[in-house]
Amino acid sequence: MSGLKQGGRADSGACLGAALSTIGELVGDRLSRAEAVRLQHASQLTWMASQPPDAVAFVETTDEVAAIMRICAHHRIPVIPFGAGTSFEGHVNAPYGGLSIDLSRMHSILSVNAEDMDCTIQPGVTRLALNEHLRDTGLFFPIDPGADASLGGMAATRASGTNAVRYGTMKDNVLAMTVVLPSGETVSTGSRARKSSAGYDLTRVFVGSEGTLGIITEMVLRLAPIPEAIVGGICPFPDVRSACDAVIATIQSAIPVARIEFLDELTVHAVNAHSGLDLAETPLLLLEFHGTAASVAEQSQRFGELAEAFGGGPFIWSEKPEERSRLWKARHEAYWACLALRPGARPIPTDVCVPISRLADCVEATKSEIADLGLVAPVVGHVGDGNFHVQPLVDMDNPDEIETVRGFVARLAERAITMGGTCSGEHGIGQEKRRYLEREHGRAALSLMRSIKAAIDPHNLMNPGKMLEPEE
Amino acid sequence: MSGLKQGGRADSGACLGAALSTIGELVGDRLSRAEAVRLQHASQLTWMASQPPDAVAFVETTDEVAAIMRICAHHRIPVIPFGAGTSFEGHVNAPYGGLSIDLSRMHSILSVNAEDMDCTIQPGVTRLALNEHLRDTGLFFPIDPGADASLGGMAATRASGTNAVRYGTMKDNVLAMTVVLPSGETVSTGSRARKSSAGYDLTRVFVGSEGTLGIITEMVLRLAPIPEAIVGGICPFPDVRSACDAVIATIQSAIPVARIEFLDELTVHAVNAHSGLDLAETPLLLLEFHGTAASVAEQSQRFGELAEAFGGGPFIWSEKPEERSRLWKARHEAYWACLALRPGARPIPTDVCVPISRLADCVEATKSEIADLGLVAPVVGHVGDGNFHVQPLVDMDNPDEIETVRGFVARLAERAITMGGTCSGEHGIGQEKRRYLEREHGRAALSLMRSIKAAIDPHNLMNPGKMLEPEE
| Mean pLDDT along residues B363-370 | 98
User: In this structure, what CATH number is given to the domain that contains residue A200?
Assistant: 3.30.465.10
- Interface with B, mutate which of A116, A167, A194, A432 (most B CBs under 10 A): A194
| Mean pLDDT along residues B167-185 | 98
**Which chain B residue is nearest to residue A168, measuring alpha carbons?**
B195
Q: B300, B391, B306, B404: which is closest to B351 by C-alpha?
A: B391
Q: Pick the last residue of a domain from B337, B366, B398.
A: B337
Quote the pLDDT of residue A2: 37
| Mean pLDDT along residues A205-209 | 98
Quote the pLDDT of residue A12: 55
Does the beta-carbon distance from A256 to B256 stay under 8 Å?
yes
Does residue A145 share a domain with residue A90? no
Contacts of A292 in chain B (CB under 8 A): 295, 298
Does pLDDT of A71 surpass 50? yes
Does the beta-carbon distance from A117 to B205 stay under 8 Å?
no
CA distance to partner chain B, nearest, from residue A329 (Å): 24
Q: B46, B259, B54: which is closest to B163 by C-alpha?
A: B259
Residues of the domain holding B303? 229-337
Radius of gyration, CA atoms only, chain B: 22
pLDDT bin (cut points 50, 70, 90) of residue B132 is: very high
Contacts of A442 in chain B (CB under 8 A): 187-188
Q: Is B227 on the interface with A (CB under 8 A)?
A: yes
Does residue A148 share a domain with residue A238? no
Does pLDDT of B8 surpass 90? no
pLDDT bin (cut points 50, 70, 90) of residue A323 is: confident
Does the beta-carbon distance from A197 to B426 stay under 8 Å?
yes
ipTM of this predicted complex? 0.96
Does residue B333 share a domain with residue B291? yes
| Mean pLDDT along residues A317-327 | 87
Question: Residue B471: how many CB atoms within 10 A of its CB?
Answer: 8
Does pLDDT of A308 surpass 50? yes
Q: Is B25 on the interface with A (CB under 8 A)?
A: no
Quote the pLDDT of residue B12: 55
CA distance to partner chain B, nearest, from residue A317 (Å): 20
Q: Is A199 on the interface with B (CB under 8 A)?
A: yes
Range in A10-24, A97-111, B280-294 with the lowest mean pLDDT: A10-24
Does the beta-carbon distance from B193 to A422 stay under 8 Å?
yes
Quote the pLDDT of residue A4: 41
Q: Is A305 on the interface with B (CB under 8 A)?
A: no
Does the beta-carbon distance from B191 to A420 stay under 8 Å?
yes
Q: Is residue B233 part of a domain?
A: yes
Does residue A297 share a domain with residue A235? yes
Quote the pLDDT of residue A11: 52
Q: Is residue B472 part of a domain?
A: no
| Mean pLDDT along residues B371-376 | 98
Q: Pick the last residue of a domain from B337, B372, B392.
A: B337
Q: Is residue B249 part of a domain?
A: yes
Does the beta-carbon distance from A253 to B225 stay under 8 Å?
yes
Q: Do the Cβ atoms of A440 and B191 come closer than 8 Å?
A: yes
Does pLDDT of B33 surpass 50? yes
User: In this structure, what CATH number is given to the domain that contains residue A90?
Assistant: 3.30.43.10
Quote the pLDDT of residue A218: 98
User: d(Cα A37, Cα A79) in Å, to the nearest integer?
Assistant: 16
Does the beta-carbon distance from B445 to A202 stay under 8 Å?
yes
Q: Is residue A2 part of a domain?
A: no
Q: B61, B295, B326: which is closest to B180 by C-alpha?
A: B61
Does residue A135 share a domain with residue A77? no
Which residues does residue A104 pair with via DSSP β-bridges, in sequence order? none
Q: How much of chain A exceeds pLDDT 90, in percent?
A: 89
Q: A5, A28, A456: which is closest to A205 by C-alpha?
A: A456
Q: Using DSSP, state whether B31 is helix, strand or coil.
A: strand
Q: Is residue B5 part of a domain?
A: no
Does residue A116 share a domain with residue A221? yes
| Mean pLDDT along residues A80-102 | 96
Does residue A210 share a domain with residue A242? no
Does pLDDT of B325 surpass 90? no
Does pLDDT of B1 surpass 50? no
Provide the chain A residues 144-183 that lie in CB contact (below 8 A) with chain B: 157-160, 164, 168-169, 171-172, 181, 183
Q: Is residue A129 part of a domain?
A: yes
Q: What is the mean pLDDT of chain B?
A: 94
Does pLDDT of A7 surpass 70? no
User: In this structure, what CATH number is given to the domain that contains residue B352?
Assistant: 3.30.70.2740
Quote the pLDDT of residue A326: 83
CA distance to partner chain B, nearest, from residue A343 (Å): 31
Does the beta-carbon distance from B114 to A252 stay under 8 Å?
yes
Amino acid at B64: E
Does the beta-carbon distance from B113 to A357 stay under 8 Å?
yes
DSSP structure class, residue B126 = B
pLDDT bin (cut points 50, 70, 90) of residue B3 is: very low
| Mean pLDDT along residues B264-291 | 94
Quote the pLDDT of residue A361: 97
Does the beta-carbon distance from A452 to B448 stay under 8 Å?
no
**Which chain B residue is nearest to residue A437, measuring alpha carbons?**
B198
- Give the number of A-B residue pairs with CB atoms closer than 8 Å: 307
CB environment A110-136: b (16+ within 10 A), e (fewer)? eebbbbbbbbbbbbbbbbebbbeebee
User: In this structure, what CATH number is given to the domain that contains residue B332?
Assistant: 3.30.70.3450
Candidates A114, A189, A195; nearest CB to B169: A195
What is the total count of domains within chain A? 4
Candidates A1, A200, A227; nearest CB to B208: A200
Does the beta-carbon distance from A208 to B200 stay under 8 Å?
yes
Q: Pick the last residue of a domain from B187, B206, B225.
A: B225
Q: Is residue A469 part of a domain?
A: no
pLDDT, tens only, A390-449:
999 999 999 999 999 999 999 999 999 999 999 999 999 999 999 999 999 999 999 999
pLDDT bin (cut points 50, 70, 90) of residue B58 is: very high
Quote the pLDDT of residue B234: 95
Does residue B53 share a domain with residue B148? no
Q: Is B196 on the interface with A (CB under 8 A)?
A: yes
Does pLDDT of B187 surpass 50? yes
Does pLDDT of A325 surpass 60? yes
Range in A12-21, A378-387, A420-429 with the lowest mean pLDDT: A12-21
Does pLDDT of A6 surpass 80? no
Does residue A452 share a domain with residue A346? no
Cα-based distances in Å from B199 to A164, B132, B161:
19, 35, 30
Q: How much of chain A exceeds pLDDT 70, in percent?
A: 97
**Which chain A residue is nearest to residue B185, measuring alpha carbons?**
A444
**Which chain A residue is nearest to residue B154, measuring alpha carbons?**
A197
Does pLDDT of B419 surpass 90? yes
Does residue B147 share a domain with residue B194? yes
Q: What is the mean pLDDT of chain A?
A: 94
- Greater confidence (B8 vs A156) lies with A156
Q: Do the Cβ atoms of A143 and A164 come closer than 8 Å?
A: yes
| Mean pLDDT along residues B457-466 | 97
Does pLDDT of B458 surpass 50? yes
Q: Is residue A234 part of a domain?
A: yes
User: d(Cα B298, Cα A100) in Å, to the nearest integer?
Assistant: 53
- Greater confidence (A319 vs A196) lies with A196
pLDDT bin (cut points 50, 70, 90) of residue A327 is: confident
Quote the pLDDT of residue B124: 98
Q: Using DSSP, state whether B456 is helix, strand or coil.
A: helix
Quote the pLDDT of residue B10: 46
Does residue A123 share a domain with residue A47? no
Q: What angle do CA B73, A201, B408 make, to 5 degrees?
A: 100
Does residue A238 share a domain with residue A213? no
| Mean pLDDT along residues B166-190 | 98
Does pLDDT of A9 surpass 60? no
Q: Is A110 on the interface with B (CB under 8 A)?
A: no
